[in-house]
């Protein structure tokens, strides 16, 4: 349908539209007009993504004089694929309606591992070795060597791409990663570098968060995005965690050992160069004397991961004299490693702030702050000089340099925590030195500063006033939308008691109670026998899931479950989990039905949809609190309290409940879909916990469903499923429409009643 939204003509690929989609677009448009940031919470299952995509593309189409670029960030690659698939649908519609004028270029960008088409490079096992294998073939010095010596292996795809030079462009269209690979293969061009090149010209770029948020990656990928861009962070409820993770580094024993090996190897290389090509080292020295030099004019092929510190904080000065010479720099690094090794040998937990730590490095190892700060750049330069291509082998020393650079750059918002062992396994010594960032606003600040509009949106942003504080920005629009439902297609329940009427909970003191495990098991056994197709269960952690499944297996509960449905489980091995998910879908499709056991905060909970028959019921076993004794968490809570006056308890509850809401929200895709949500823990019945759930869940949570036992839940589930199986009027009927056709929309715009419809 095509309709006017104030001065913008919106092309929407469906025949009908939900009223909340309309209001969502309206708010978004106002934010774009104001060239400001916005924060929008809209329930899952209301077509958020398509509303967003169609508004922003239509907005760009209606203002051809100053074209805006659209940067869409997803958390995961599979969400990226999903978004691009939706964009494809939209683009098809827009070109059908508008002809070639609507043609845009939209591409997804990912790592070499996901885009490479060179089978020899792909044979490498993991991402880092793929990167290294690629660099081995395309680094500028390798290619220079290959020009003389035909036996040196290069990558034919990259060579072809280089040969085509400016002719190597992508014709307009929407390209998923798969399309990029297919295009690259067909043309013989390297899809990775083609995509890297094309993002400068693309109208829409879809990639993952870290390409903007993590300075290591953003520094090489997203440097040249123009200011007139609209940046969208979709599913952004965890964005604060992404931000602090991007700036955190750990040092462990293995890291130090690896770093020492790396240093030895570099030492050998330096000796070799001294003997054969001393001029090269001298040239590097001279370059460093002149200034930082090597940034900017580096060939695209040689760029490695960028500086871990944020671009604004990187010193634009010359490298200090004491680390300009390669040997000297190696000595500095050796001393640093030695010092860190000493610090790791502690028996108690130590917590320090960066300033003190830098001072003590200076006192004990004789390395000053400025030298530390330049560690990363100096290392990068040295590795280029030494022509090291197997970067995957040098990750350890890079970690050390990242650590040093971050440590010396930031004085606030960070802390250093040294733990001799994991709290949960005190008998296994595993010392770790953690530089952890507490301030989420640090990493995202450059994004807010650089781009004219940043949109943060998700199904779960409750409480919506917390995010601007955590991320330290001022949204021009901050709205939370309710969901207008045609019928009660979601059925949240709080289960507090098991079939024996005893309370159930994953609270610390009840967790190991066999009665709770049995009650949880019985609940699932009953549910698998009445709920059709797919059921998803979320546990609070892997270890709890492991434990409870073992208990169920021993007591025969698992067997009972398997009599009704197949069982699939998320494990820590992503490949296995991916296959399990694929099989789960097959099992739901073929009618056998299945249960998927997953973990809150896990990879599945983050981005896999269980819409339609893939999820008719979600059970959240317990409240997914973080492990509250964790030193890092405590440090972060302290920081939040001091800086933002956020109470520890509030933050923990907020965090647990947003995870729970995220888990259960995966079942609804549209208003025609339906699903039940069971919160199985007595703590959910308390008002202070429950009220942190997003409004669209709370509004369907009836008082009668707040304190259920297994048998009552079973009865409600039966009734609900029976009700949902009946035919219904999709438009909602009555005075309050939940589905608008073009006609409705026009009529309402004309008589002004559209404003009453807004949510």
Phi-psi map region of 708: left, alpha, beta (phi>0 left; psi -120 to 50 alpha):
beta
Choose between 316 and 427: whose C-beta lies nearer to other proteins. Answer: 427
Choose between 182 and 315: whose C-beta lies nearer to other proteins. Answer: 182
26 near other proteins, rule: CB under 8 A:
no
Look-up: residue for tokens 């870290």? 210
Q: How many residues make up the chain in this entry?
A: 759
Choose between 259 and 494: whose C-beta lies nearer to other proteins. Answer: 259
Residues 240-259 that bind other proteins (CB under 8 A): 242, 244-246, 248-252, 255
Residues 407-426 that bind other proteins (CB under 8 A): 419, 422-425
At its nearest, how many Å lie between other proteins and the CB of residue 10? 14
Choose between 391 and 505: whose C-beta lies nearer to other proteins. Answer: 391
Choose between 398 and 505: whose C-beta lies nearer to other proteins. Answer: 398
92 near other proteins, rule: CB under 8 A:
no
Residues 436-465 that bind other proteins (CB under 8 A): 436
Question: Are the C-beta atoms of residues 191 and 115 closer than 8 Å to each other?
Answer: yes
Choose between 501 and 586: whose C-beta lies nearer to other proteins. Answer: 586
According to CB under 8 A, which one of 31, 61, 73, 130 is a site residue for other proteins? Answer: 130
Choose between 374 and 552: whose C-beta lies nearer to other proteins. Answer: 552
Choose between 114 and 458: whose C-beta lies nearer to other proteins. Answer: 114
Phi-psi map region of 199: left, alpha, beta (phi>0 left; psi -120 to 50 alpha):
alpha
535 near other proteins, rule: CB under 8 A:
no
- 39 three-class SS: strand
Look-up: residue for tokens 């469903």? 705
Residues in a beta bridge with 689: none
Specify the DSSP class assigned to residue 277: -
What stretches of 199-349 show up as alpha helix (H) in DSSP?
210-213, 215-221, 239-246, 253-276, 278-290, 326-344
Stretches 192-200, 239-247, 322-330, 496-504: which one binds other proteins (CB under 8 A)? 239-247
Choose between 167 and 590: whose C-beta lies nearer to other proteins. Answer: 590
77 near other proteins, rule: CB under 8 A:
yes
Q: At what angle do helices 253-276 and 326-344 cross, to 10 degrees?
A: 170
At its nearest, how many Å lie between other proteins and the CB of residue 499? 22
Residues 577-636 that bind other proteins (CB under 8 A): 577-583, 585-587, 590, 592, 594, 601, 603-604, 607-608, 611-612, 626-633, 636
Nearest by Cα to 269 from 150, 167, 388, 170: 388
Choose between 245 and 638: whose C-beta lies nearer to other proteins. Answer: 245
Binding mask 648-677 for other proteins (x = CB under 8 A): ---------------------xxxxx----
294 near other proteins, rule: CB under 8 A:
no
In the chain, the N- to C-terminal Cα span, in Å, equals 21
According to CB under 8 A, which one of 9, 16, 322, 707 is a site residue for other proteins? Answer: 16
Nearest by Cα to 596 from 584, 588, 608: 584
93 near other proteins, rule: CB under 8 A:
no
At its nearest, how many Å lie between other proteins and the CB of residue 35? 29
Choose between 76 and 362: whose C-beta lies nearer to other proteins. Answer: 76
Give CA separation, 268 vs 142, 272, 326, 585, in Å.
20, 6, 12, 53
Phi-psi map region of 425: left, alpha, beta (phi>0 left; psi -120 to 50 alpha):
beta
Binding mask 541-570 for other proteins (x = CB under 8 A): xxx--x--xx--x----xx--xxxxxxxx-
Question: Are the C-beta atoms of residues 431 and 442 closer than 8 Å to each other?
Answer: no
Choose between 432 and 712: whose C-beta lies nearer to other proteins. Answer: 432
Distance between CA atoms of residues 271 and 388, nearest Å: 14
Torsion angles phi and psi, residue 51, rounded to 5: -65, -45
Question: Are the C-beta atoms of residues 673 and 47 closer than 8 Å to each other?
Answer: no
Stretches 181-189, 275-283, 445-453, 715-723: which one binds other proteins (CB under 8 A)? 181-189
According to CB under 8 A, which one of 395, 464, 502, 758 is a site residue for other proteins? Answer: 395
Nearest by Cα to 620 from 662, 572, 587, 580: 662
Look-up: residue for tokens 């709205």? 479
At its nearest, how many Å lie between other proteins and the CB of residue 627? 3
Residues 464-523 that bind other proteins (CB under 8 A): none
123 near other proteins, rule: CB under 8 A:
no
529 near other proteins, rule: CB under 8 A:
no
167 near other proteins, rule: CB under 8 A:
no
Residues 29-48 that bind other proteins (CB under 8 A): 47
76 near other proteins, rule: CB under 8 A:
yes
Distance between CA atoms of residues 83 and 291, nearest Å: 43
260 near other proteins, rule: CB under 8 A:
no
The first and second tokens of residue 257, run together, are: 């050992």
575 near other proteins, rule: CB under 8 A:
yes
Question: Are the C-beta atoms of residues 235 and 44 closer than 8 Å to each other?
Answer: no
Residues 676-735 that bind other proteins (CB under 8 A): 730
Torsion angles phi and psi, residue 668, rounded to 5: -105, 130
At its nearest, how many Å lie between other proteins and the CB of residue 742? 11
**What is the Rg, in whole angstroms, of the alpha carbon atoms belonging to the chain?**
28
742 near other proteins, rule: CB under 8 A:
no
Distance between CA atoms of residues 704 and 684, nearest Å: 14
- 6 three-class SS: coil
At its nearest, how many Å lie between other proteins and the CB of residue 321? 30
Residues 217-236 that bind other proteins (CB under 8 A): 217
At its nearest, how many Å lie between other proteins and the CB of residue 514? 17
Look-up: residue for tokens 């002719």? 167
Distance between CA atoms of residues 180 and 174, nearest Å: 9
Collect contacts of 641-648 with beta carbons under 8 A, ≥24 apart: 643/439, 644/469, 644/470, 646/466, 646/469
574 near other proteins, rule: CB under 8 A:
yes
According to CB under 8 A, which one of 182, 318, 464, 698 is a site residue for other proteins? Answer: 182
């Amino acid at each position: 349908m095509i309709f006017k939204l104030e001065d913008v003509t919106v092309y929407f690929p469906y025949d009908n539209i939900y009223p909340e989609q309309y209001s969502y677009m309206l708010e978004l448009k106002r934010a774009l007009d104001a060239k400001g940031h916005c924060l929008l919470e809209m329930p899952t299952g209301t077509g958020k993504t398509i509303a967003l995509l169609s508004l922003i593309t239509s907005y760009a189409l209606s203002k051809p004089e100053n074209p805006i670029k659209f940067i869409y960030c997803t958390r995961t690659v599979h969400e990226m694929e999903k978004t691009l698939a939706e964009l494809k649908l939209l683009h098809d519609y827009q070109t059908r309606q508008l002809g070639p004028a609507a043609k845009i270029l939209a591409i997804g960008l990912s790592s070499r591992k996901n885009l490479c088409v060179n089978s020899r490079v792909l044979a490498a096992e993991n991402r880092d070795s793929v990167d290294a294998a690629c660099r081995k073939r395309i680094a500028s010095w390798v290619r220079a060597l290959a020009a003389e010596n035909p036996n040196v292996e290069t990558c034919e795809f990259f060579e072809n791409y280089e040969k085509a030079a400016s002719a190597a462009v992508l014709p307009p269209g929407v390209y998923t990663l798969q399309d990029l690979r297919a295009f690259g293969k067909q043309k013989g061009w390297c899809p990775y570098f083609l995509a890297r090149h094309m993002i400068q010209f693309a109208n829409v770029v879809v990639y993952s968060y870290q390409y903007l948020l993590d300075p290591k990656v953003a520094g090489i990928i997203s440097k040249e995005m123009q200011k007139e861009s609209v940046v969208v962070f979709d599913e952004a409820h965890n964005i604060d965690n992404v931000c602090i993770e991007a700036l955190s580094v750990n040092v462990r024993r293995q890291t130090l050992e690896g770093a020492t090996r790396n240093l030895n190897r570099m030492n050998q290389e330096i000796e070799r160069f001294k003997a054969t090509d001393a001029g090269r080292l001298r040239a590097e020295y001279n370059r460093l004397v002149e200034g930082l030099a090597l940034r900017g004019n580096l060939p695209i092929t040689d760029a490695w991961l960028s500086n871990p510190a944020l671009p604004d904080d990187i010193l634009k000065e010359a490298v200090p004299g004491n680390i300009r010479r390669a040997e000297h720099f190696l000595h500095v690094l050796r001393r640093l490693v030695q010092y860190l090794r000493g610090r790791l040998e502690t028996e108690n937990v130590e917590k320090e702030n960066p300033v003190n730590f830098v001072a003590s490095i200076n006192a004990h190892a004789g390395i000053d702050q400025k030298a530390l700060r330049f560690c990363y750049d100096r290392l990068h330069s040295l590795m280029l000089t030494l022509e090291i291509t197997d970067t995957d082998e040098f990750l350890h020393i890079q970690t050390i340099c990242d650590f040093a650079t971050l440590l010396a750059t930031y004085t606030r918002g960070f802390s250093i925590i040294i733990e001799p062992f994991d709290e949960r396994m005190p008998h296994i010594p595993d010392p770790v030195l953690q530089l952890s960032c507490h301030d989420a606003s640090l990493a995202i600040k450059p994004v807010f500063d650089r781009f004219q509009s940043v949109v943060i949106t998700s199904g779960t942003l409750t409480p919506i006033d917390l995010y601007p504080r955590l991320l330290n920005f001022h949204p021009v629009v901050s709205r939370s939308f309710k969901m207008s439902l045609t019928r009660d297609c979601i059925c949240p329940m709080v289960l507090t008691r098991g079939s024996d009427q005893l309370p159930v909970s994953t609270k610390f003191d009840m967790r190991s109670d066999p009665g709770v495990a049995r009650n949880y098991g019985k609940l699932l056994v009953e549910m698998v026998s009445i709920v059709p197709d797919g059921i998803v269960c979320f546990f609070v952690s892997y270890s709890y899931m492991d434990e409870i499944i073992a208990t169920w297996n021993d007591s025969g509960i698992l067997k009972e479950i398997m009599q009704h449905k197949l069982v699939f489980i998320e494990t820590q091995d992503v490949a296995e989990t991916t296959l399990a998910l694929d099989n789960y879908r097959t099992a739901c499709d073929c009618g056998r039905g299945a249960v998927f056991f997953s973990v809150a905060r896990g990879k599945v909970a983050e981005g896999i949809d269980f819409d339609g028959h893939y999820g008719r019921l979600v059970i959240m076993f317990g409240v997914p609190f973080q492990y509250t004794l964790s030193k890092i968490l405590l440090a972060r809570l302290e920081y939040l309290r001091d800086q933002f006056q956020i109470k520890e308890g509030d933050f923990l509850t907020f965090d647990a409940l947003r995870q729970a809401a995220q888990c259960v929200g995966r079942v609804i895709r549209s208003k025609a879909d339906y699903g039940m949500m069971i919160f199985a823990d007595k703590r959910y019945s308390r008002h202070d916990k429950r009220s942190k759930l997003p409004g669209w869940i709370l509004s369907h949570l009836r008082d009668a469903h707040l304190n259920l036992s297994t048998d009552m839940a079973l009865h409600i589930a039966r009734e609900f499923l029976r009700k949902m199986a009946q035919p219904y009027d999709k438009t909602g009927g009555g005075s309050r429409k939940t589905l608008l056709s073009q006609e409705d929309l026009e009529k309402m715009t004309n008589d002004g009643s559209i404003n009453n419809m807004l949510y």
